[in-house]
Structure 1
Amino acid sequence: MTHYDVLVIGGGTSGMMAAISAAEHGATVGLIEKNKFVGRKLLVTGNGRCNVTNNRDKEEIIAHIPGNGRFLYSAFYQYDNYDIMNFFRSRGIALKEEDHGRMFPTTDKSRTIVNALKQIIEDLSIDLYTNAPVETVLYDEEKVTGVRLEDGREFQATSVILSTGGRAMPKTGSTGDGYKWAKKAGHTIKELYPTEVPLTSEETFIKERTLQGLSLRDIDLKVLNKKRKNVVTHRMDMIFTHLGISGPAVLRCSMFALQTMKRDKTDAATMAIDSLPDMTAGELNQAFSQLKRSEGDKSIKNVLKQFGPERYILFGLERHSIDSDRAFKTLNSKEIDQIITFLKDFQFDVHGSLPIEKAFVTGGGVNTKEVNPKTLESKKKNNLYFTGEILDYNGYTGGYNITGAFITGRVAGMHAAETSLSQ
């Protein structure tokens, strides 16, 4: 029977990095992947361009991992996003920075990153098993002992690293297999929920598709709790869909909207759009007064189109039964207040999200209180390690989840190799 110092289950971002790290630290390594090829999810990240990491300092990166990011501090102090950049650059892959610190390969192809990782796996003589679904992980009383595949093959291992991902994007192979093997080792799994996911709404204007396909640029999107207190604000773009809302601002707010509904025990969370975040209500009021004098004879819709997309403006006027063809100067103070409120604080309810399978990221997972944050080793079974999305932490899109995956993979691989070689 084949024996490895370190066996990694899952050939995604964190699994490939864990295998490479363990091999670079002197271990004999096997990498098991159930898909036909490794890096399936990595190929589709960043719209197929692969946002490998983010060029910000540790504190900022951890602030962008709102779901339990603090757990990653110890790992970050051993290996960080700058180390990730050096890892690729030292292997001849040029990276470039785009908006919000996002780092991409200059080729704009995620295949560049996947191919580099595959080449390193080959160079380090890591045994790669593809098309090899795992049936179960084997344990004795104290520790992990190996892995059995569905085809009956068994491998012994001194250490096993579970890098099986979450349940988001199951087409890439993330079907939550690792949770049952973690449970078998005695771990508790925090309830799974979708994050970085489009939100759904039962509002009439959504059901009637009044705004479907309309994008709003650079707006402030807020999640409000049942006391109408602000939970979170994100300034980015968004789009109205046939089911609700989507786009970068929505994905970032999604976790907070779902958690707010849960916390408030309600079936809806209130969203608020400030479509003119750089102007105060007072400044808008003054602008309208001046426009009454300078452009008062023009129609309301013609004057207001400088304040947003025409469809959005007309929708707002209709909501308040204001005839858009009237002369702008005929607006009374109540109507002006209504328009300003719509532009600065349009509130509506969302009632849920697309399912976890349609999310970009899984929230919840292996309880991090049961995992050593410095080594990523299980506190329940010796020599069992966890990396990436199987763990209960989650970040925003923009290179944060992938950073967490590379870092946890690197750190777990290093400690698993050291543990195995010392036994």
Structure 2
Amino acid sequence: MYDVIVIGGGVSGLMAAYSASKNGKKVILIEKNKKLGQKLLISGGGRCNVTNRLPYAEIISHIPGNGKFLYGPFSIFDNENIIDFVESRGVALKEEDHGRMFPVSNKAVDVLNVFLRELEENKVTIRYNTIVEEVSSEDDRITGVTLTDGEVIKAGNVVITTGGRSVPNTGSTGDGHKFARTAGHTITELFPTEVPITSSEDFIKAGTLKGLSFSNVALSVLRKNGKPRITHQMDMIFTHFGISGPAALRCSQFVYKEQKSQKRNDISMMIDFYPDTGKGALQEELDALIKESPNKSIRNILKTMMQDRLAEFLIDYNGIDREANSHHLKNEDKQKIVEFLKGFTFKVDGTQSIEKAFVTGGGVNLKEITPQTMESRLVEGLYFAGEVLDIHGYTGGYNITSALVTGYVAGHSAGMK
């Protein structure tokens, strides 16, 4: 008999097992893999983006999927507590751009070892290569779990930290949603977020711009009325299937949401290649270049402003005579060039699969969870934390912050009973 069972040894599970075991409680952590913290080890490109140091309001603005729910858990344990937890155990952190926190060593394993040492010190039982078949309850009260081999482990509290459905090779295959449903919880529709975007445009299929990357462009997902639903000014790259890179990943969930809203597959997106320059200023820059080299072809002039392949594509796309110089270039062609650079619009038809996404959108309905404890409102002694919940943010330490904070609060609450 245990006090607390934690199912899933990922980021939030590690924290939940630690916080549940703090007061001498008997805790067991059940993990289907042969190792703990698989996703933690690959986070931040293997460097582990532990958390983000921005103020609450800014962190929550970077968690478009129900970030406001986190105000409750943050009142118990927050990003500064995460930093203190790691640093006070001998792993120094450094702050990088946009508040992202990394270990000075740049090694995710150093962060994982902090958790492993704490679990060992607090005598947490760890079962590897073990799969939970069902979570049991009687009279709306948790009684324990049954494993696939039929073994029953009893406990009055169960914390589900099994992750979403993205990056399934780390063990996130949606088990927690099955347990939640069985307990009477609703699961909001799951969808991929932080994932590359697909397009069937001819220029994508032909690979015309494949491999072309751009720094600091403004990428927008457009509503039905042509106005941006969201715009992200970051780097992006054209691929053989569509677009990728930070700006595309951040826009991906809004492609899905617009598909739902517009009830159609093809959604318009727009790129502003010069987001920090107005149309008028860009027109003046183009006019000055033409004036400087009146005998130069427009193709060669444009190549001084942008990458060669983009210049070639722009000319063909707009039907401009590539050899025309300033004497033969029509005013409407100049206008087309500026319009293209400030608002190239193209169609996309979705995103790559949820398995290829960094983060799962959707999950256990938050209306059924008490934010200050992370306990189910339906079944006493049942807790949820991390990506199994309907919370999703952008990359940059926001999802791991959510996982660690909700994990701590769920484990702490379960361990107090």
Q: Give TM-score scaled by structure 1 length.
A: 0.97
**Aligned partners of 2:374 and 2:384 also within 8 Å:** yes
Q: Which one is further off, 118-127 or 31-40? A: 118-127
Aligned position for 2:338: 340
- Counterpart pick for 2:135 among 114, 134, 137: 137
Aligned position for 1:290: 288
Equivalent-residue separation in structure 2 for 1:407 and 1:242 (angstroms):
38
1:401 matches 2:399: yes
Equivalent-residue separation in structure 1 for 2:327 and 2:303 (angstroms):
15
Q: How far did 1:118 drift?
A: 1.2
- Counterpart pick for 1:12 among 10, 13, 16: 10
**Aligned partners of 1:303 and 1:328 also within 8 Å:** no
Aligned position for 1:126: 124
- Counterpart pick for 2:192 among 185, 191, 194: 194
Aligned position for 2:382: 384
Equivalent-residue separation in structure 1 for 2:209 and 2:24 (angstroms):
58
Specify the code of the residue in structure 2 equivalent to 1:174: S
Equivalent-residue separation in structure 2 for 1:108 and 1:203 (angstroms):
40
Give CA-to-partner distance per residue, 1:307-334, whole Å, 9 cap, x none.
Answer: 3222112111110122333324532210
Equivalent-residue separation in structure 2 for 1:272 and 1:394 (angstroms):
24
- Counterpart pick for 1:51 among 44, 49, 54: 49
Aligned position for 1:206: 204
Query: Where do residues 253-292 of structure 1 align in structure 2 (5 Å cutoff)?
Result: 253-292=251-290
1:34 matches 2:32: yes
**Aligned partners of 1:292 and 1:329 also within 8 Å:** no
Q: How far did 1:83 drift?
A: 0.9
Query: Where do residues 227-376 of structure 1 align in structure 2 (5 Å cutoff)?
Result: 227-376=225-374
Equivalent-residue separation in structure 2 for 1:185 and 1:418 (angstroms):
22
Aligned position for 2:60: 62
**Aligned partners of 1:29 and 1:127 also within 8 Å:** yes
Equivalent-residue separation in structure 2 for 1:150 and 1:135 (angstroms):
5
Structure 1: gaps of 5 or more residues? none
Q: How far did 1:158 drift?
A: 1.5
Q: How far did 1:290 drift?
A: 1.8
Equivalent-residue separation in structure 1 for 2:307 and 2:216 (angstroms):
12
**Aligned partners of 2:290 and 2:301 also within 8 Å:** no
Aligned position for 1:219: 217
**Aligned partners of 2:291 and 2:326 also within 8 Å:** no
Q: Which one is further off, 294-303 or 408-417? A: 294-303
> Could you say what secondary structure the match of 1:96 adopts?
strand
**Aligned partners of 1:97 and 1:104 also within 8 Å:** yes
Equivalent-residue separation in structure 2 for 1:402 and 1:329 (angstroms):
58
Cα distance change of structure 1 residues 304 and 128 upon mapping to structure 2, 3 Å threshold: same
Q: Which one is further off, 337-346 or 149-158? A: 149-158
**Aligned partners of 1:322 and 1:335 also within 8 Å:** yes
Structure 2: gaps of 5 or more residues? none
Give CA-to-partner distance per residue, 1:129-165, whole Å, 9 cap, x none.
Answer: 1111111111112211101111222211111000000
Aligned position for 1:184: 182
Query: RMSD value over aligned CA atoms?
Result: 1.1
**Aligned partners of 1:299 and 1:327 also within 8 Å:** yes
Equivalent-residue separation in structure 1 for 2:347 and 2:327 (angstroms):
33
Specify the code of the residue in structure 2 equivalent to 1:209: G
> Could you say what secondary structure the match of 1:189 adopts?
coil
Percentage of matched positions with identical amino acids:
51
- Counterpart pick for 2:71 among 73, 83, 101: 73
Aligned position for 2:173: 175
Aligned position for 2:98: 100
- Counterpart pick for 2:147 among 139, 146, 149: 149
Give CA-to-partner distance per residue, 1:218-240, whole Å, 9 cap, x none.
Answer: 10000101110110000110111
Give CA-to-partner distance per residue, 1:225-256, whole Å, 9 cap, x none.
Answer: 11101100001101111111111000100001
Equivalent-residue separation in structure 1 for 2:306 and 2:141 (angstroms):
61
Specify the code of the residue in structure 2 equivalent to 1:275: F
Give CA-to-partner distance per residue, 1:254-275, whole Å, 9 cap, x none.
Answer: 0011101111111111110001
> Could you say what secondary structure the match of 2:188 adopts?
strand
Specify the code of the residue in structure 2 equivalent to 1:250: A
Equivalent-residue separation in structure 1 for 2:278 and 2:300 (angstroms):
22
Q: How far did 1:179 drift?
A: 0.7
**Aligned partners of 1:25 and 1:414 also within 8 Å:** no
Equivalent-residue separation in structure 2 for 1:19 and 1:331 (angstroms):
69
Q: Which one is further off, 294-303 or 402-411? A: 294-303
**Aligned partners of 1:9 and 1:31 also within 8 Å:** yes
> Could you say what secondary structure the match of 2:189 adopts?
strand
